[in-house]
Structure 1
Amino acid sequence: MIEQKVIINLTDENSNNLGTLTVSSIDCKNCNESRVRISNSLELINIPVVDSADNLTPIQYCPDIGANFANLMFLEETEYQILFESSDACASYDVLYSLTKLNENYFKQFRFSLGDNKTYKIAGTLNFRSYVGKSFLDIRKNKINSIKIPIEVRSKKMDYFNQYSSMIADLSHHALSLIFEVNSPLYQEFELDSKEKKTYYEDFMFLEYLFRNENLPSIFEYLSKNIHSQLKNRTEQVPLSLASNFNQNSLKNIVSKPNNLYKYDADFEIVHKLKGHIPQMIEQTKHDDTIDIPENRFVKYFFESIRDLIEKLLLSSDEGYIKDKLLFFSNEIEYYLSSNFFKQISPMDYVPFNSQILQKKEGYREIFKYFLMMEFSFRLSWDEINNQFKGFEKKLSELYEYWCYFRLLKVLNDLSITKVDFDDVFKVKKDNWSVSIKKGENSVKKFKFILYDNEIEVELFYNLRFSKNSKYESYSLAFKPDYTLLVKIGEHINYIHFDAKYRSELEIADYYNVFGKSDKKLNEEIDKRDSLEEKESIFKDGDIYKMHTYKDSILKTEGAYVLYPGNKTEQFFESDMIIPSVGAFSLTPGNDGVDENNLENFIREVLKTLLFKHGLINLNWKSLDK
């Protein structure tokens, strides 16, 4: 392995030298020896300079990664060694100030002193755990902050630049969908007003949802090619010889303006009727196609409102992921507003709520929906998700768990003849306009399936607790799977469990220790497996061990399975039937529904197999339709 080092010369805003910060990693397996000086303040040793970052190399540098990301790339769940040195031994220092003021557990300083009366040195370790996003490396000397060096902490277990953003957008969608469900308890309670929000988090989540490719960007492209227009009548004075449109109103105008007539000697009927006169100029009506109509003024107003919202949020946002995304949104909305057709549209003087165009015409009805979202949904906050956004950091383990829950809900909703309502998912706190996800026994969602003329009831629980001598029973210790399916077929009850697994490598080791470190052959197999896991993003052996624990300890359990962001789905069967079994399912954000289809097919087959096992269908399970 080759040691990687980032050497940073830290200065204050006046270019005064404050010291040297070195960040190193010894875990790089595929790095080549190199030494690159990026600037006077930044030097890279054995650090690849790449066009796009992977999710394996501890430190990489991407010079052209774009405005939304930092050039210097680190990894979650990776330990880095920190060394700070300064020639001023008498000063007071706060090393990694931006990080430690948020979470002291990231940076652990060694207890022994390295410096002397001439130099100041401290060393320690840095680990971002399962937080990802933009962060900063800096120090504070005598309460004077150094210039912040931005870094990007990316995910090991999913594509940080595509899959992660897709997961956040999905969570934004679910938070906002609550308001537009027919049975939502909140819908009728919202009204248009200027009530001040407690946080700006709701606004940001709305923007994340709005700027998904299938939402505002797609609608703008459609509207720019299908802008609605109307014919507008106008009158103009033209010489009689150039008139092309002569009607009854033209005659009235001639008679009402005798000063416009002059003597003309010709044998025409109109000359005789006007006693030898004809008009010099004639007023005619023209029909123009115009886009300056109330509906388009409303669309322009909406885009301008989004621009104003983004500008307001930028004024109060700190450096990091949120600010970078807001800058991206700002560029997008300015591009939209610079379109030529907006220049032809006047300011809005009223909202045409009763317009059939806004309510029914494609493109316009979506803008009208987004407008209502903007007015209504800013009163909504989602407690769990809000708690995981700590400035520029997001704890992926919790966010992934919520995301998997909604994927599982969607799969069951698609399969079932009954549909879940969002008021069955969220617990509404009406006093402060916030919601949280129901958990435990209160989280039950009921679905109904009809297979081979048999009715099957399935209940979905989130964090249901199983323990001794309780309604939901384990014969040994207490367990709390992330998600549990309770399947009712007549009087028969069976459980299927799922756990979302986006977790620390350090936790995995606990499972291995059960089998003893002295078994050299076992340890070699574990090392080989770890290498495969890292290269191919497959599930962890330790996760499968835990699924065995669920299946064996929780009474009436037929199967337990891992949901994880990877690329391999595998099941381990006790017999030639699909259950009893344990296994792992790939469930990765942005996978275009492929993983969901696999999970849907599996649940369908489990239900069919349970019908067979309980004697309700007379088919060999292998012959059941897929």
Structure 2
Amino acid sequence: MRNARRFSNANIREILKGSKRTKLPETHYLKSFGIDTLPERITTIRKADSVDTPENRFIKHALENFLKFCTDINNKAKEYGHKKMGNESELMIRELEGQLHHTVFKHISRPTTLKLNSPVLQRKEGYREVLRVWLMFDLAAKLIWKGGDDIYSGGKKDIATLYEYWLFFKLLDLCQSIFDIEPKDISELIKETPDGLNLQLKQGKFTALHGVYDSGSRKLNIRFNYNHSFIGKKTYPDSGSWTTTLRPDYTLSFWPYGISETEAEKQELIVHVHFDAKYKIANLTDILERNNENDLDEEKEENRKGIYKNADLLKMHAYKDAIRRTGGAYVLYPGDKSINQKGFHEIIPGLGAFPVKPSKTDSGIGELKAFILEIIEHFINRASQREKIAYRTFDIYKNPPESENVVKEPLPEAYNTNRDLIPDETFVLVGYYNSQEQYDWIKRTGLYNFRMGSGAGSLILDKETVSSKYLLLHTSGDTESGDLWKIVSRGPKVYSKDDLIRKGYPSPSQDNYLVIQIEPVTDIEFDNVSWNFRGLSNYSTGRASAFPFTASLTELMKNKKR
């Protein structure tokens, strides 16, 4: 009690009512105030200056964290021979150790809690700077994206790379919401750099989303890739690029459910849609809307000077033309105008651009979502022109051309009524007439009849027969023929015996016949030409030589005699 400098009301109450009391001597002056006993001790509060405050504990904690990080960096730098990084980290280590060896930190203990909402930390000069740096270090700078020395330092921000990463996560969320497919664990997306100092997004092989989308009427395999590499110089039908290796930023792939991706590539059933992030793109609208000769002349002049303003557009064309089975290639940029150029009549194939920008209110992702939904509707349509083109491509290129499959003989040009004149797909019916009287009837009526039924010599209505465009006539004893007619009816008609008699046909022996309508060939390329029909692969000898058969125009021209 003698050490108490100033008594408070609480101290007075303790003197009067405190426990563990000691009896006062009879001569004590407090006896006169009616106090016979005093407590052995009372509690007093004394204020003293101390540096061991929560704020200073945080400063010590932050500096120790920085020191540990710099030490780890220095060890790695020495291990991998990063001389510059090693020197810089050593300077930081010496500076931090010098600060931590200051006598003030000897009296500061370790923090039990971090009071980050402290007004001193947030407002007082010196404290707030350390807090800001520590927050950046702890919450962000542990992940250093490849492509920038320090994405947080002023004037050195790799905005284009950050925009590319931001777009990836936006597209991942978009695909997840549209297709209702859970993406892979995002931790698989992150990998260490070889020296273990940084982290970066995986490129080239990372598939962020892969699953099956069920539209109700059709199931589709869906795959969303980040920086998928399409290997160059691949021969058909392998996947990839047939020129150089290309790597779009994002690729969305579709193919039918129930078939592997490899088989879908071979059968032209897969479609890739590519997107490229372009943070800076100049005059995209002007480039895509150049229509006159002056614009092209100006572009040529700029190209001669090494200026290529349409490089981004050309890159989209490169993706579209070089990467096999690409349905479209589109730029994503933080602009305000979308462009969607269709190659033909449908949503794909196409090229264009969509504005997607970081914004708290409207990022523009809705327009891109509508575009992807339109692509899905397109894939559900099994009668689309793209489906037909895909099949034709597969059918034509599934086998390499045979060295013998060459036609250099004069043929009618494929335009107007002859637009479908493809020698391999144009067929010729080879028919027989057994008398001059029958031949005169053919010339007079423009009709030619075949036997029908199951008997020998009956016409087989296969695809080649029904679609035949020409008729080559021959008779007994012929070894070659130049008597070529054009079939003008859309298909054979059934004529009865009586029908042919009314047409003047000489002595029909069958109950029913198949009859086609013909007219003389007027193409000058077939004038004074004769063909060795006996050299055709479907020709039969003996009595079967009178049976009708078909041959392609390619095969027929290879048996041209004159």
One fold, TM greater than 0.5? no
State the TM-score, normalizing by the size of structure 1. 0.37
Higher relative contact order (CA 8 A, sep 6+): 1
More strand by share: 1
State the TM-score, normalizing by the size of structure 2. 0.40
